[in-house]
Amino acid sequence: MKTIFYVIQKEFIQVKRNKVMLRMIVMIPLLQMLVLVFAATYDLKNVDIFLVDKDLSSTSRELAGKLEASPFFTINNTSFDPEDGEKELLRNADEMVLVIPRGFERDLIRDDKASLQLLVNAIDGQAAQLGYSYAASVIRDFNKNIIAEWKGLPEFNAPFQINTVSRFWYNSELEYKWYMAPGVLAILVTLIGLFLSGMSLVKEKEQGTIEQLNVTPIKKIQFLTGKLIPFVVIALFDLSFGLLIAKVVFNLPIVGSLWLVFGFGILYLLGILGLGLLISTVADTQQQVMFVTYFFMMIFILMGGIFTPVDSMPHWAQLVNEANPVFHFMKVMRMVVLKGSNFGDLIHEFVALCILGFTFLSLAVWRYRKTA
Amino acid sequence: MEKVITVRNLVKKFGSFVANDHLNFDVYQGEIFGFLGANGAGKTTAMKILCGLSSPTSGEAKVAGFDIYRETEKVKRNIGYMSQKFSLYEDLTVAENIRFFSGIYGIPPASRKVKQEKLLKDLGLESAKDSLIGSLPLGWKQKLAFSVAIFHDPKIVFLDEPTGGVDPITRRKFWDLIYGAADRGITVFVTTHYMDEAEYCNRVSIMNNGRIEALDTPENLKKQYSAKNMDEVFLKIAR
């Protein structure tokens, strides 16, 4: 027991002396929370529209006014030539071109119907669909208004109509930042844990101190435990720091129990640190650790569902994700923080994280040899 | 005299390369045993096996009375080791390094403090107690590494080219430390390239291509090979 204490003490002193490490421990949560959460937003705002109004009627102007009045759209440019609009799309200056054909108002009055053309830049399919449906709903509202205005008929003149009243649960304002923040926190803990543990053992190899330790009677379980505990503490500190930033800056509602968040945090970290140690038992230099760690981070994060819903990934990818600790932890973070899920809701994640943690840790202990 | 190391038919192979080819020797309590040989002769390999850093392919060895296969941890309690790669923590202070290694060997804090004070006084490094190891000159680091290696009073200390890269005066002073340890009854097992250092040893063995070619006191070796000094003996054996 005492031996472990001496290892922990030594690790903390080494972190304290390492100015780069100290700065990383403070700056990474700050930067990730403040930059990544804002940058990775899917909220639709400020879609630039290029307007081609060939009708120049009061109706067409009213429609343009409606779009401009919505918080999502800005009419950036106008022209009478649709080709100008296409050029703007190509330049990426505008995301949508709305063409109002000549005779729009006239057709609407005379024939009771008229057409509009909406060209959407769909390189980013998701944003395009979102932009299109928002624009379509503005136009639909506008349409209803004219019917009411011109015909003097109330809106509910259609005899049968199903009205859907929807409420968005758990994140009623659809605040994307609230969705992102717990995910970014999961990445943060992963990054810190994986790098700290990956670097520390290989640094001892590079400096030759590992040999000095290997001739001592220290047991490998004592040594590895003593090495891991400080990293668990540091990563949990960063988790709290990140949560605090999210609370203060984004007003993130923390619905669930913080005990659950940190309990799962510890369980998760044991696995991540085990993986970091495993990498550093195999690697000989810090560069090698960097490369391998980076590789795992990329796969874990992109597959883990921070940007894209895992439910819409192909079936095999969802199966692979069962072995992805980031996927489970991110889910736990979102469920507990945003929904207030309790332990009973998280049994699956708990079991998965236990299995992964046990596997990584035992592989690391098995791979770490005092004798070559 | 009591044997503290016995080695019988020790073999270490790396693939088809034989690094140690049937080594046989004994080391006695309290002696300074020089382990000589050209680069790649297999000195470090043999030393690592005796320290428990590497396992042999075949053969037997006992260190401090314990079998190196079955009683590794007991062997480790009774040995000290200083590698050719300097290996105290550069980002810890002198006192912190001593505290850490004492902690691992289970030396209680009270006796650690007494021993630490004596150690620093003997080395004349009292002022460096709270300096980072990384900021000290190489000669000081080596003295400290040696002192830390024997801080837990091992029966045997293994030194792997301990004086590489320092000037003759510093080397001479380092050997004073080695003599001091031997006087306290610690057996010293040392590899070296420097033939003047070989003269300081009670007995030396000379390795070539994984085999021990000669083993005796420096005087007897010089007689046997009719050489003026150890340099000539070494050249005649290693060619």
Altogether, the residues listed in chain B come to a count of 239
CB contact under 8 Å between A13 and B79, yes or no, is no
pLDDT confidence of A42, banded at 50, 70, 90? low
Last-in-domain residue among B95, B113, B140: B140
Of A5, A7, A217, the CB nearest to B77: A217
Q: In angstroms, rounded to a whole number, what is the distance separating the alpha carbons of residues A114 and A233? A: 66
CB contact under 8 Å between A3 and B77, yes or no, is no
Residue A155 has pLDDT above 70, yes or no: no
Asked if B52 and B104 sit in the same domain, the reply is no
Q: State which residue of chain B sits closest to A214, comparing Cα positions.
A: B53
Asked if B46 and B67 sit in the same domain, the reply is yes
Look at residue B74 and tell me if it is in a domain.
yes
Last-in-domain residue among B140, B168, B184: B140
Instruction: Identify which of A116-120, B102-106, B207-211 has the greatest average pLDDT.
Output: B102-106
Asked if B32 and B55 sit in the same domain, the reply is yes
Look at residue B31 and tell me if it is in a domain.
yes
Q: What residue has token string 């803990």?
A: A189
Residue B158 has pLDDT above 60, yes or no: yes
Strand partners, A52: A79, A99
Q: In angstroms, rounded to a whole number, what is the distance separating the alpha carbons of residues A323 and A306? A: 16
Contact assessment for residue A334 and residue A182, using Cβ atoms and an 8 Å cutoff: yes
Asked if B132 and B64 sit in the same domain, the reply is no
B positions 57-86 inside 8 Å of A (CB)? 72-73, 76-77, 79-81, 83, 85-86
Q: What local confidence, expressed as pLDDT, does residue B37 receive? A: 85
DSSP states of A153-212 as a string? --GGGSS----------SSTT--HHHHHHHHHHHHHHHHHHHHHHHHHHHHHHHHTHHHH
The CB-side HSE value for B22 (13 A sphere, CA atoms) comes to 1
- Which residue type, as a one-letter code, is found at position B143? K
The phi, psi pair for A40, rounded to 5°, reads -90, 30
| DSSP state letter for B132 | B
Read off the CATH number of the domain in which B218 is found.
Answer: 3.40.50.300
The phi, psi pair for A289, rounded to 5°, reads -60, -45
CB contact under 8 Å between B88 and A215, yes or no, is no
Asked if B194 and B231 sit in the same domain, the reply is yes
| DSSP state letter for A337 | I
Q: In angstroms, rounded to a whole number, what is the distance separating the alpha carbons of residues A275 and A281? A: 10
The phi, psi pair for A92, rounded to 5°, reads 70, 15
Instruction: Of B7, B19, B11, give the one whose Cα is nearest residue B209.
Output: B19
Contact assessment for residue B52 and residue B59, using Cβ atoms and an 8 Å cutoff: no
Asked if B89 and B163 sit in the same domain, the reply is no
B53 Cα to chain A: minimum distance (Å): 4
Q: What local confidence, expressed as pLDDT, does residue A69 receive? A: 87
Q: What is the mean pLDDT of chain B?
A: 91
Strand partners, A120: A96
Look at residue B166 and tell me if it is in a domain.
yes
Q: State which residue of chain A sits closest to B51, comparing Cα positions.
A: A215
CB contact under 8 Å between B81 and A6, yes or no, is no
Domain that includes residue B97, residue range: 85-140
Residue A235 has pLDDT above 80, yes or no: yes
Q: Region A233-252: what's the mean pLDDT?
A: 93
**Superfamily of A47-157 according to CATH:** abc type-2 transporter like domain (3.40.1710.10)
Residue A153 has pLDDT above 70, yes or no: no
Contact assessment for residue A65 and residue A141, using Cβ atoms and an 8 Å cutoff: no
Of A41 and B172, more confident: B172
CB contact under 8 Å between B87 and A207, yes or no, is yes
Specify the range with the lowest mean pLDDT, choosing from A225-229, A310-314, B126-130, B172-176. A310-314
Residue B144, chain A, CB below 8 Å: the answer is no
Residue A43 has pLDDT above 70, yes or no: no
Q: Could you tell me where in chain A the CATH 3.40.1710.10 domains are found?
A: 47-157
Residue A159 has pLDDT above 60, yes or no: no
Q: What local confidence, expressed as pLDDT, does residue B110 receive? A: 94
A212 Cα to chain B: minimum distance (Å): 6
Coil, strand or helix at B108: coil
Q: In angstroms, rounded to a whole number, what is the distance separating the alpha carbons of residues A251 and A268? A: 25
Q: What residue has token string 């290694």?
A: B101
Look at residue B147 and tell me if it is in a domain.
no
Asked if B165 and B227 sit in the same domain, the reply is yes
Residue A190 has pLDDT above 90, yes or no: yes
* Count of Cβ atoms closer than 10 Å to residue A321 Cβ: 20
Q: What local confidence, expressed as pLDDT, does residue B233 receive? A: 87
State how far the alpha carbon of A338 is from the alpha carbons of A170, A245, A266, A351, B205, in Å: 6, 16, 20, 21, 72
Q: What local confidence, expressed as pLDDT, does residue A328 receive? A: 94
Q: What residue has token string 């669930």?
A: A256
Asked if B43 and B58 sit in the same domain, the reply is yes
Q: Region B166-175: what's the mean pLDDT?
A: 88
Q: What local confidence, expressed as pLDDT, does residue A296 receive? A: 92
Q: Supply the angle between the helices B138-149 and B168-183 in degrees, to the nearest 10.
A: 10
Of B8 and A123, more confident: B8
Coil, strand or helix at A214: helix
Residue A152 has pLDDT above 70, yes or no: no
Beta strand B66-67 with B58-63: parallel, antiparallel or unpaired? Answer: antiparallel
Q: Complex ipTM, two decimals?
A: 0.88
Q: What local confidence, expressed as pLDDT, does residue A161 receive? A: 61
Contact assessment for residue A135 and residue A118, using Cβ atoms and an 8 Å cutoff: yes
Q: What local confidence, expressed as pLDDT, does residue A40 receive? A: 66
Domain tally, chain B: 2
B236 Cα to chain A: minimum distance (Å): 34
Altogether, the residues listed in chain A come to a count of 372
Residue A39 has pLDDT above 80, yes or no: no
Instruction: Of B25, B23, B1, give the one whose Cα is nearest residue B10.
Output: B23
Of B54, B83, B103, the CB nearest to A3: B103
Q: What is the mean pLDDT of chain A?
A: 87
